[in-house]
Amino acid sequence: MRVLFALVLGLAIGAAAVWYLQSGRGNARVQSATNEMENAAKSAGDAIQEKLRVLDLRPQDVKDELARTGQVVRRSAKQAGQAIADATADARITAAIKGKLVASRDLSALSISVNTTSGVVTLSGTVPSTDAISKAMLLAMETDGVKEVVSTLQVKPKTG
């Protein structure tokens, strides 16, 4: 009995849907939805074409560059800006550490080289003791923006 009731109810709902879509009201809504989808697709297509133009990625641009250089390379403005910001941050970190080395009585700024890449600081050169290596690494670690410190410092006791 339940199966028969469900079948009759499903047929009634299906018939009502067919009537609604074939009547003027349903057809107008379907047409409106179709128009909205077409407009959205056109807008998306226009946006993509504009991005291709701005990034010089239109087929003719790619063909010309391949003919000229044999490769196509593009970097997004966000990535380029981030690379510049990273390089600036690295230079600031290196300068701050060098300044701390100059101010330190126990460490020689002339004997310790500081190199920073993407927040990773490498200390190289010579120091008089392993204690000096620890102090130099601590000084570097306490600098804003430092993610990691790598030491290749060598102990070379002072002579004379």
Mean pLDDT of the chain: 78
Give residue 154's region: left, alpha or beta (phi > 0; psi -120 to 50).
beta
Indicate the CATH number of 78-155 among 1.10.1060, 3.10.450, 3.40.50, 3.30.1340: 3.30.1340
| pLDDT value of residue 121 | 93
| pLDDT value of residue 30 | 57
Cβ atoms of residues 155 and 129 within 8 Å: yes
| pLDDT value of residue 59 | 79
DSSP 152: -
Q: What pTM does this model have?
A: 0.51
Q: What is the mean pLDDT of each run of 10 residues along the chain (160 residues)?
A: 64 66 58 62 69 73 80 65 73 92 88 91 91 92 93 83
Residue ranges, comma separated, of all CATH 3.30.1340 domains in the chain are 78-155
| pLDDT value of residue 72 | 72
| pLDDT value of residue 143 | 93
- Give the whole-angstrom CA distance, residue 37 versus residue 45: 12
| pLDDT value of residue 3 | 64
Cβ atoms of residues 140 and 97 within 8 Å: yes
Q: Tell the burial category of 104 from Cβ atoms under 10 Å away from its Cβ (0-12, 13-18, 19+).
A: middle
- Give the whole-angstrom CA distance, residue 70 versus residue 132: 52
- Give the whole-angstrom CA distance, residue 44 versus residue 38: 10
| pLDDT value of residue 147 | 93
